[in-house]
Structure 1
């Protein structure tokens, strides 16, 4: 990984530490107190041994020392527990904050952005990558402070006792962070590649899992199993690479810490044998001095070793931060200005587009420039072949895609309207019904619940009746508590679409935005949904994308799109009477319908 990129990601990670609250500072405080209490224990042990072995004092003379040593041991245990708890809470608060930020950002960017990656990749970001930030804030950041603070305190205590021992500690201390940096140089890059492999594997596996029945139908199971095996092997290799880095780092740090302590032990050993005579301040080196310094020596290097041990947490967090930072700092398209215009939407909604050009998230032009208008209470249909830009136009109107030109709602530019206020006026119904795990009651009342309103059961039943699905719900033993499972399991597409329609009707919208609402339905379900929509839209405006040309008689006007441009517009009768794209589409639709009728009749024979 480029050093400038790594530095930028590290800086971004440190900026997020405010989400940890006071728990991060508590963890550092408990760590410092643990270090100080350990120095006190070292002093007590060295004093006791000096008195008993060298000064030949009775053990009873050190009763208070023994009690104090016991109290300090218990106190250190309490401090260690408190430090672990506060560290965990710091990381937990950060994870909650980060997941909320990710979900809020995805909601702001909208479905057009989310569809740019497989669902498994987003799951990897929200779950695994956020989870891997835990140790960076819970362990690595506090340890950086402790690695500088505790050795400094020990040096301040040791130098007045023996300057040679202090010099050895000071000279050997840089060896550990230096080799930690050398060993860990490739760790961040290895983790970043590991997360990339995990995201690809998650996305690939989830997509194949959703299409499992289709794969079996076309006998592609063995081929996809090999593809998953290949992706899994890539992830295994990258994971082992990360583990090699972690183990190598720990081994190197342990080696140099042991070597440094050995140098210190050799110095004191030769001093006691009389071969070395320096480092003291006039008097010879006592047993107390040697024991005290040697007991503190492992604790002098321990914070540095712990920082090295937790260095892989930094590398892991940097690998995870790359995609998180890119997502959270992604500009929100058409975001309302701070001084956004507001409107109370008391009357009907009017939409006017002038030289409108719609773009994808990566800047590719999808639609335009086009101009059209939707009058108050008007029902406008948009037709065209696949890829003509119909859905992209609706996404721009919903605020999910960037645009240039003018797109005004009641005379106010759309990107100056607060999105929540604008979307409260809309009811959207797409090709695939979007229902959530829960009951029928919860799904129908979802929009109102988000606005802090409560729908009574009678109101919910009235909405289900309008959507022609009440009979089915009441036939179930649980009624409105009928559970809707993942992927709407247990419901047909038509039933799910009608429940989604009931939810849309609950909004009492002023503008219906419909994207092929009957595309996946059988004829009976299509008639039920279309009939419910016709009744519901009598007093509202409507903008509908459809391939069903036979339903256009009920629309006030029709826009015909081709290659991102509006090539025709007018009433159904006007467009059917002139040569052009619409008449060609009618001819193709009639031929397709005739072919289906003929195939069905031959099948019946």
Structure 2
């Protein structure tokens, strides 16, 4: 990673800290107060020992000083506790903000873009990489200020007593951050490589876990296990590289801090035996002065050592920020969300003119397309695989950018409030996706305020009640991720009930019976036929025997609309006729 990129990422990270400035200032303020109390603690301790050892004062006469010492120790403990709390709050608030930025960006890019990368990659980006920024905001940033403020306070306390000791502090202090920077030059790079390896392993593992049944059936489980082992070995190697740099940094800091404290101790040792006679402004060095400065000596370097300890947090944050900033700044066309309300949402009419559907990267996926879908009209969309049907649906749903015009009830889709537009859509796809929860939760996904009677009614109309009532817990039966525990046909009937309950005026059916057996297909089609009555409907289907029931058929090929008309009119020629002839031939062969 080049230095300019590191500086840019550090600048971006620091700019995010403005969101939690209050917590940051409180953390620094308590740390500074702890530094002031530290000077008082050292003064009291040195005074007590000086009076007991040199002046032979009765220890009972020092009770007030002992009480003051314990009070200061308690106050410092409270300051440390407060620093931890406020630092954590600072990091928490910023992490929530950054995670929200990522989620907002994912939402703006849409499902079509998200599917381009493994789910594990997104999980790593949103979870692990954002979490790795906690210590940067909670510890490193406050410590940057304290590593300057506390040594300055100690210098102000030491110089009036002994300028030689203060000069030693002043000259040796830069050694700690200097060697910290030298050791940490490659830390950001190491962390960046570590996060890249983690993303690859997360994505690889999650995808293979989902396809474990397929891998076993094709006897590829052992081969994929070897691939996972190789990916995990790369991650282990990158992690050990990060740890090696962290331990090396700590060892260097401890070494130079110990050397600096030792120099101060040697100076006072020779001064006490009369070998050195400078730095004390002509006044004999007392035990109080020596103890006071020697107690403060390690504490003078402690903020710098802590900064070095937290330096790996900065490297981790920079490594994590690279992928996050790269994602947030990615040049991709977004489907803009307008603010206009949908006019007359009970009846949907769509007009498409010179439409070109684009990928988030700006690549043309389909078009130009021009057609209309009238209110309450039932339209079928057919074509060979790769014709652009799914791209067209994604554009209508507001998931892909486009050029040209898509007007819904006379309003351009880009100008519509997308949340309101999607509330008017009832969608049933070919792969029913049920979320983690109960059957009741899944049916009410699009209408959480629905009453039990409404849920029961739509389940009955979708023929889902016949198997729900056989389950031990009925509507409270728990459904695992990706419809776990239910057959595909049962999951699809729940998806139909969910679409019914949403009560949308525009139904989009994307191969709703593609994965169903004959009985489930019959039940789903019957329920859909009733549900779409008096509603505008667009159905994508490979089942050409269902087209005669549609008002109109749109035929796509290579991203273009090649036929548009009633089934009886266009089934005698062109691509639709070829598709029908191939279908008839397959039926005869069967």
The equivalent of 1:312 in structure 2 is 312
Mapped partners of 1:184, 1:94: distance in 2? 24
Contact 1:466/1:502 (<8 A) preserved: yes
1:270 Cα shift?
2.4
Q: Distance in 2 between matches of 1:32 and 1:150?
A: 6
Map Cα deviations across residues 234-292 of structure 1 (whole Å, 9 max, x no partner).
Answer: 11110111111111111111111111112222222222232322222231222222211
Q: Return the offset for 1:137.
A: 1.4
The alignment's TM-score, normalised by the length of structure 1, stands at: 0.94
The answer on whether the counterparts of 2:355 and 2:367 sit within 8 Å (CA) in structure 1 is yes
CA positional deviation for 1:346:
4.2
Equivalent position of 1:201 in the other structure: 201
Structure 2 residue 541 is matched with structure 1 residue 540? no
TM-score, normalised via structure 2 length: 0.96
- The equivalent of 2:240 in structure 1 is 240
Where does structure 1 lack aligned partners over 5 or more consecutive residues? 598-605
Look up the match of 2:350. 351
Contact kept, 8 Å, 2:215 with 2:221, in 1: the verdict is: yes
- Label 1:427 to 1:280 Cα distance change in 2 as closer, same or farther (>3 A): same
Does structure 1 retain, via aligned residues, the 8 Å contact 2:333–2:360?
no
The reply on whether 1:438 has 2:433 as its aligned counterpart is: no
The Cα RMSD (Å) is: 1.7
Query: Cα offset for 1:364?
Result: 1.5
Question: In the alignment, does 2:567 pair up with 1:572?
Answer: yes
2:359 corresponds to: 360
Deviation at 1:344, TM superposition (A): 3.4
Tell me the residue number matched to 1:585.
579
Are 2:343 and 2:409, in contact at CA under 8 Å, matched by a contact in 1?
Answer: no
Residue in 2 that maps onto 1:35: 35
- Cα separation, 2, equivalents of 1:126 and 1:65: 53
Corresponding position of 1:421: 420
Q: What residue number does 1:563 align with?
A: 558
Corresponding residue SS for 1:357 = strand
Cα deviation, residue 296, structure 1: 0.8
Assess if the C-alpha contact under 8 Å between 2:387 and 2:560 holds in 1. Answer: yes
Structure 2: any 5+ residue segments left out of the alignment? none
**CA 1:264/1:396 → structure 2, altered by over 3 Å: closer, same or farther?**
same
- Matching of residues 112-123 of structure 1 within 5 Å: 112-123=112-123
Who is 2:273 aligned against? Answer: 273
**Distance between the aligned counterparts of 2:556 and 2:372, measured in 1?**
14
What corresponds to 2:517 in structure 1?
522
- Deviation at residue 329 of structure 1 after TM alignment: 4.5
Partners of 2:19 and 2:543 in 1: CA distance? 52
Instruction: Determine the structure 2 residue equivalent to 1:124.
Output: 124
Compute the displacement of 1:342 (Å): 2.8
Q: Which deviations, in whole Å up to 9, do the C-alpha atoms of 1:85-125 show, x marking residues without a partner?
A: 33233333333444344334333432112101111111212
Alignment match of 2:469 (pick from 471, 474, 477): 474
Q: Secondary structure at the match of 1:447?
A: coil
CA displacement at 1:305 relative to structure 2: 0.6
Match of 1:251 in 2: 251
Map of 2:588 onto structure 1:
594
- Per-residue CA deviation, residues 564-600 of structure 1 (Å, 9 max, x unaligned), is 111222221222111x2211111222233334x3xxx
Q: How does 1:153-232 map to 2 (within 5 A)?
A: 153-232=153-232
1:477-514, Cα deviation, whole Å (9 max, x unpaired) = 22221221222122110110110111111111111122
Q: Which residue of 2 aligns with 1:93?
A: 93
Alpha-carbon contact 1:108-1:332 (below 8 Å) kept: no
| Rounded Cα–Cα distance in structure 2 between residues aligned with 1:102 and 1:424 | 24
Measure the CA separation in 2 of the matches of 1:583 and 1:474.
45
Please give the residue correspondences for 1:104-115 in structure 2 after superposition, counting only pairs within 5 Å. Answer: 104-115=104-115
Query: Secondary structure of 1:185's match?
Result: helix
Q: Counterpart in 2 of 1:600?
A: none
The number of residues matched between the two structures is: 589
